[in-house]
Amino acid sequence: MTGVIRAPKSYLVRTELDSLLAGLDVGDPVPAERELALRFGVARETVRQALHELLVEGRIERRGRGTVVSRPKLVQPLSLRSYTEGAVRMGRTPGRLPVSWDDVRADADTAAALGVRRGAKVMHLERVLLADGDRIGLESTYLTVQRFGWLRESFDPTTSLYAALRASGVEFGAALERIETALPSPREADLLGTTTAMPVLMLNRRTVDTDDHPIEVVRAIYRGDRVAFEALLADR
């Protein structure tokens, strides 16, 4: 006689929670662990694990001492468009909080990517990226002082860097981009308003112009519960 395979309680709880969230709107409160455990007839630990999964996925978020339904993730296209364009496309209001803007000595990798000698001075611009006032990313951009030093006189770091570069005549040609998961450092977590246990998407990019001259090197991290990336693939 074939035995009946029963779904684990964690799966059943997750299914029930998915149904529950489907009937709620953004900002609506999610019932407390104790209430959910009683409703589903399971241990609070089982509910806690399911809620943690939803938190990491960005379906729910902590707000004060409670939990509410999150808004959909900001979907950013993998392209040479700026962060501003991607946010506006989704009906979100982009913003930036400057953290630092200094001249630093280029390490070996940065120097090679920007085509300067190791130890040369390069500009380092660090900014927190916002969407409707929420902190979603932390971006570090490196540019050569020789080519882009003029930015210090005219560029507002709360605005789009790509727009400023294009307005100056820079023509973006191509970018090599790598994305992987990581955990933020305590400093990064603090700047993003998250915790060191919440995964982030780490992006490394080198951008060149139409003459194949380096424009920038970027290291950015994005909250995995707030941002997703997409790319259009075509077989030509």
pLDDT tens for 81-106 read: 777 777 888 788 999 999 999 999 99
Confidence bin at 140 (pLDDT 50/70/90):
very high
Write down the pLDDT at residue 5.
52
Which of 49, 46, 59 has the alpha carbon at shortest distance from 20? 59
Q: Tell me the mean pLDDT in the region 208-213.
A: 96
Beta strands in the chain (DSSP E): 60-63, 66-69, 74-77, 94-105, 121-131, 134-144, 172-182, 200-209, 214-223, 227-230
Q: Residue 178: is its pLDDT beyond 90?
A: yes
pLDDT tens for 109-130 read: 999 999 999 999 999 999 999 9
* CA–CA gap between residue 103 and residue 192 (Å, rounded): 23
Does domain 9-69 sit in CATH 1.20.1260.10? no
Confidence bin at 6 (pLDDT 50/70/90):
low
* CA–CA gap between residue 184 and residue 199 (Å, rounded): 7
Instruction: Say which CATH superfamily domain 74-230 falls into.
Output: Chorismate lyase-like (3.40.1410.10)
Tokens 């023509």 belong to: 171
- Sequence spans of domains, the chain: 9-69, 74-230
